[in-house]
Amino acid sequence: MRSFVAAFFLILLHAVALASATAQTISPGGKPLPMDEAFRLSAQRNEDGRVRLQWTIAPGYYLYQDGFGLRSDASDLPLPSLEGEAVSKNDPTFGVTTIYHDRVAATVPVSRGVKELTVSFQGCQDGGICYPPASRSVDPLTLAVSGGGGGRSGAPAMSEWVQAPAIPGPEMSQPESGGITLSRNDQGMVAGLLADGGVLFVLGSFLLFGLALAFTPCVLPMYPILGGALARQGDRLTPLRGLALSLAFVLAMSSAFALLGVVAAWSGQNLQMVLQSPLAVGAVAALFAVLALPMFGLFELQLPASWVSAVGRVGQGRRGSLASAGLLGFTSALIVGPCVTAPLAGALLHIAQTGDVRLGAASLFALGLGKGIPLIAFGTFGPAALPKTGAWMNGVRQAFGFVFLGAAIWMLSRLVPASVTMALWALLAIGTATFLGAFDTLSPDAPGSRRVGKAAGLAAALYGILLGVGAASGSGDPFRPLDRMLVAGAMIGERPAGLDFQLVEEPQDLDRQVARAGGRTTLLYVTADWCVTCAAIERSVLSDPATQQLLSGLHLVKVDVSENTMSHQELMRRLEAFGPPTMVFLDPQGREVSNTRLVGDVTRSGLADAVSRAEAGS
């Protein structure tokens, strides 16, 4: 682990060194140099009286071999052989040409009485511009070079148009680590706690952190999932059994968190993010769908016997159901609600910095337990609140069947287009409506409960229809199913303008974007499609007008790491972020302002604090 960290910093240092080395030589942002700076011509006299012409070529520029020409007074001279390293440049758009980088020279015999040597040459900025042919005069006596100036390079530029901020040409790949310097001040959460009160204090604190996070959007999906696992028990569910099952669920969840630490130590990767692959997410969606089916009594009816015994076994017998609760807990922690929180990042940082896997993993286990305590209470005391037998139990089972189907759709939404998700939600709503009795005929003497059920069912059916219409119109927001249709009408312009985040998905774009801060503080917001907390932040914090006002003076950059690709991993490595959501504040020079980084869920006031500290520190 230590060697991994060392290697990482070595790479970082190397990249920084490379950046500063090239920054001096390659013009900033790829702005083309004036011709006489790109190609510096000088003349010298050799001992044998010949004149040696030498071009010093700026890095990133080249001269064409066939672009050289020579005249003595008014007559053309054969060009003497060129000294330099000729390189063959092949490009589909301009064929093969021979070019010179760095320097090229020619030695010219000068006859008596020649008043003026004229040389012409032509070249380009690699991946930038091509210069018109240049012609320069050399006085054979004084060796003074003249010409230029009057040409295009010398003309005063009209100042109405300014050079675009730091946009290099496509081939001038800029060194990766140029623009950003991360803060090194933070001591780390685990180290701080350890210094305060030892190992037990660390573990106890993480347990409390977990408890504090127990009702955040990352953990909330686990309640219906655990509820579903319990409901599958049917009549056999006692408080003791509920305790055993929820304990299995929570222990597996905590183990998953501990495993996060071990894997991070071993590979430097956040396991949760790695598991956001379409395969894993699809498999979990399928698992939920399969778990939902027996809730409707479908297994017994339709599936082949071998299926029933294979899948059904999970739910039968004491050990089987404990194992399935464990499996659900484990997948929930890693795949269903993969959340990066401040304590999680703190523990991973501790492991990365010290190599202390045991304390890091134990802290994460404690964090998981803390998140799980309310779940255990829910699993133990919840069943007591439910009626024991009868038709009610069927209703409860069916309800959790819909919850599982909902979970399956929610997982699938990370894989399929938003309108497909909407269509699935529509189907689910209409299915729920049917089960609630929306389409059953009520007899005049039907009890109130049936009437309430039918009313709820009709409401669900109406929502389902709206969702279906929305899906057909291409909308993707289940909370505004008709926005596509309304936008054509008067609603346009009423939606808040929102924040203008620049999107970055490639490491090389990061520096370019940061370079465009233009004297402002930069907020780098690391986010992902599947990040539950990010969605919550966007809904409740970033959409708040006061927060938008606060952020409007900042250079806002969204770093999207939705996919577990090399680019996205590299982006997180560069920012030393453990995952989304992470907010990094940079001063106008691209240095991270210390003690401003926000990891995990943020509140409006927390964000406002960080912004004011970042702006004061920069």
Q: Is 66 in the site for other proteins (CB under 8 A)?
A: yes
List 169, 588, 590, 617, residue binding other proteins (CB under 8 A) = 169
What pairing do the DSSP bridges indicate for beta strands 82-91 and 95-108? antiparallel
Q: Is 156 in the site for other proteins (CB under 8 A)?
A: yes
List 113, 142, 170, 494, residue binding other proteins (CB under 8 A) = 170
List 52, 71, 520, 558, residue binding other proteins (CB under 8 A) = 71
Q: Which is nearer to other proteins, 99 or 366 (CB)?
A: 99
Q: Is 81 in the site for other proteins (CB under 8 A)?
A: no
Element at 363 (helix H, strand E): helix 357-385
β-strand partners of 599: 582
| Range 602-606, long-range pairs (CB < 8 A, 24+ positions) | 602/537, 602/541, 603/541, 604/541, 604/544, 604/546, 604/547
What is the contact mask toward other proteins in residues 490 to 509, using x (rule: CB under 8 A)?
Answer: ----------x-x---x--x
Judged by CB under 8 A, the chain residues 130 through 149 that form the site for other proteins are: 130-133, 135
CB of 260 vs other proteins, minimal distance in Å: 34
Q: Is 570 in the site for other proteins (CB under 8 A)?
A: no
CB of 236 vs other proteins, minimal distance in Å: 59
As a whole number of Å, the CA-based R_g of the chain is 34
What pairing do the DSSP bridges indicate for beta strands 95-108 and 145-147? unpaired
CB contact at 8 A, 246 and 225:
no
Q: Which is nearer to other proteins, 153 or 183 (CB)?
A: 153
Closest CA relative to residue 210, chosen from 353, 357, 375: 375
CA distances from 202 to 208, 333, 367, 369, 578 (A): 10, 21, 10, 14, 20
Q: Which is nearer to other proteins, 151 or 355 (CB)?
A: 151
Q: Is 519 in the site for other proteins (CB under 8 A)?
A: no
Q: Rounded to whole angstroms, how far apart are CA atoms 180 and 591? A: 6
Specify the stretch interacting with other proteins by CB under 8 A; choose among 29-37, 181-189, 364-372, 439-447.
29-37
CB of 38 vs other proteins, minimal distance in Å: 8
Q: Is 412 in the site for other proteins (CB under 8 A)?
A: no
List 129, 182, 485, 535, residue binding other proteins (CB under 8 A) = 129
Specify the stretch interacting with other proteins by CB under 8 A; choose among 118-126, 301-309, 380-388, 457-465.
118-126
CB of 120 vs other proteins, minimal distance in Å: 5
Q: Is 73 in the site for other proteins (CB under 8 A)?
A: no
Q: Is 109 in the site for other proteins (CB under 8 A)?
A: no
Specify the stretch interacting with other proteins by CB under 8 A; choose among 3-11, 123-131, 454-462, 476-484.
123-131
What is the contact mask toward other proteins in residues 226 to 245, using x (rule: CB under 8 A)?
Answer: --------------------
Longest dimension (CA), the chain: 125
CB contact at 8 A, 572 and 579:
yes
What is the contact mask toward other proteins in residues 361 to 400, using x (rule: CB under 8 A)?
Answer: ----------------------------------------
Q: Rounded to whole angstroms, how far apart are CA atoms 585 and 596? A: 6
List 47, 160, 235, 445, residue binding other proteins (CB under 8 A) = 160
Q: Rounded to whole angstroms, how far apart are CA atoms 303 and 536? A: 39
CB of 174 vs other proteins, minimal distance in Å: 12
List 48, 92, 200, 493, residue binding other proteins (CB under 8 A) = 92
DSSP 232-266: TTGGG--HHHHHHHHHHHHHHHHHHHHHHHHHHHH
Q: Which is nearer to other proteins, 87 or 240 (CB)?
A: 87
With contacts defined by CB under 8 A, how many residues of the chain interact with other proteins?
59
CB of 510 vs other proteins, minimal distance in Å: 12
Coil, helix or strand at residue 555: strand
Closest CA relative to residue 61, chosen from 102, 98, 93, 96: 102
List 56, 118, 473, 595, residue binding other proteins (CB under 8 A) = 118
C-alpha torsion sign, points 257, 259, 262, 264: negative
User: Dihedral angle at the C-alpha atoms of 44, 45, 47, 50, nearest 10 degrees?
Assistant: 120
Residues 6+ apart with CB under 8 A from 150: none
CB contact at 8 A, 289 and 213:
no
Kindly list the strands in the beta sheet with 582-586, ordered across the sheet, starting from the edge strand earlier in the chain. 502-504, 555-560, 522-527, 582-586, 598-599
CB of 42 vs other proteins, minimal distance in Å: 20
List of residues contacting other proteins (CB under 8 A): 30-35, 38, 64, 66, 68-71, 76-79, 91-95, 97, 118, 120, 122, 124-125, 127-133, 135, 152-153, 155-158, 160-165, 167-170, 500, 502, 506, 509, 512-513, 516
